[in-house]
Amino acid sequence: MTSTELLPAPPPRAAARRALLAGSAGNLVEWYEFGVYGCFATVIAANFFTPPTGAGTGPGAGSGSGVEALVATYASFALAFFFRPVGALLFGRLGDRLGRRPTLVLVVGLMTLATTLIGLLPTRDAIGPAAPWVLTFLRALQGLSAGGEFGGAVSLMAEYAPPGRRGLYGAWQSFTVALGLLAGAGTAAALATVLPATALYAWGWRIPFLLALPLGLVALWLRTALEEPPGAPPPAKAAYGDRDGQLPPGGAVQARAVVLGIGRIMGWSAAGYTFLVVLPSYLQSTLGTSFRNALLTTTLVNLGFAASILPAGLLSDRYGRRPVMLGGALGIAVLAFPLLHLLQSPDASPPARAAAVLTAGALVGLLAGPGPAMLAEMFPRRVRCTGLGLAYALANAVFSGCAGLVITTLTARTGDPAIPAYYAAGACAISSLALLTLRGNDHREPLR
């Protein structure tokens, strides 16, 4: 049976474009929030994790150590990531059993609610020690929803993709991640430019979180109009076999695929968060860069990331996932130290610094462009949402969620400003070994 017979109206091409837009919109909302949180880490630390002294809020308010508060902020950030695998299992199972559409509607609604509530949350000055705990709870809700977002969205895009275009369609997931991070960094940079520091710390930081509400409502509207991908089984059919919840035949094979998938994307996860999310607070706390300049630098690195994603997806459709992703992983492993040294050098010119961060972002894009399609091709349809979602969530929990915590803690303890380069280069070197197991023709095979 052809996809045309399954989807008589609208035509498959129009349905594919609509699926691409609906899947991408939710990703943008999710990663916009993560970008905002990363950019405002020092502000959140001052408002939620630094004990008040009665001196008001602002840069340096509170008697506790700024580094300790920043570590606590990143600990909350990491905790949200460790809820992602739980969300991947929960919502992935729903997506494989009940369909992609209802799951994607549910996860973007939960993400929008949690992000909006963060923008309304009283600070530690207002409600005391309860503030960081409530913030951490909302981050956990975001982690649950984010865990289900990736598996459902990538499955939807890959299953709707025309022949020979899975890499490009999957790359849109990563591209909207870049747009979300860029929107978060850009919004933060704009606020830091137009607001004085006291206003930014007192109330201006709330604005980006509250903007997630209209963005999320648009994503919800797009997703409620979705249809299930071509060839989708009836919702009543259990994707996991028996009603007792047993894994389907070949469960051990799928578990090995999850482990291999983690290895293939660990470099993407580690380097992506090191350069795209953790960089603002690293530049401020370690190199003494101003808040405004740190955000402008992060905006540039996200621009480089965004610019390379779709071309990387297209190249992977033509030449295969392996050469493109290996190029990105090996490039980061080799260039991480020179690029970071350039940022640290007081003699480096602004154009040289800009070129360094653009290059770093572009190398991460070589991993992120083909990555979603590569993961989708590793799992059969009946477990695709769960399998690829779990691989992605576990890699992100360990290598992304812990990036800020590990880099900030180790830099403070060792005094070595090259810790981010060790972290990104080491993960990419290991990831390169796993990427060597990719077969050259996987991108041409039909989805299982």
Instruction: Write out the two tokens for 421.
Output: 């380069």
Give the least confident one: 125-129, 178-182, 238-242. 238-242
Report the C-alpha gap between 347 and 14 in whole angstroms: 53
Report the C-alpha gap between 108 and 118 in whole angstroms: 16
What is the structure's pLDDT at 117?
A: 92
What is the structure's pLDDT at 236?
A: 46
Instruction: Write out the two tokens for 75.
Output: 């600990």
What is the structure's pLDDT at 428?
A: 95
Asked whether the CA dihedral 8, 13, 17, 20 is positive or negative, the reply is positive
pLDDT in tens, 172-213: 988 987 788 778 878 888 888 888 888 888 888 899 889 889
Which residues, in sequence order, are CB contacts of 26 under 8 Å at separation 6+? 104, 107, 108, 111, 149, 153, 219, 223
> How far, CA to CA in Å, does 363 sit from each of 303, 401, 412, 416?
12, 20, 27, 24
What is the structure's pLDDT at 280?
A: 66
Please report which confidence band the pLDDT of residue 433 belongs to, taking 50, 70 and 90 as the band edges. Answer: very high
Asked whether the CA dihedral 6, 10, 15, 18 is positive or negative, the reply is negative
What is the structure's pLDDT at 307?
A: 92
pLDDT in tens, 4-41: 444 334 446 777 777 788 878 888 888 788 778 777 87
Report the C-alpha gap between 169 and 264 in whole angstroms: 19
pLDDT top residue among 121 and 295: 121
Structural domains in the chain, sorted by start: 11-230+251-444 (1.20.1250.20)
Residue 96 has pLDDT above 80, yes or no: yes
Of the candidates 94, 114, 112, 102, the one whose C-alpha atom is nearest the C-alpha of residue 219 is: 112
Q: Which of 44-53, 117-126, 307-316, 375-384 has maximum average pLDDT?
A: 307-316
Of the candidates 368, 369, 330, 338, the one whose C-alpha atom is nearest the C-alpha of residue 355 is: 338
Of the candidates 324, 381, 312, 313, the one whose C-alpha atom is nearest the C-alpha of residue 151 is: 381
Asked whether the CA dihedral 121, 125, 130, 132 is positive or negative, the reply is positive
Q: Residue range 311-338: average pLDDT?
A: 93
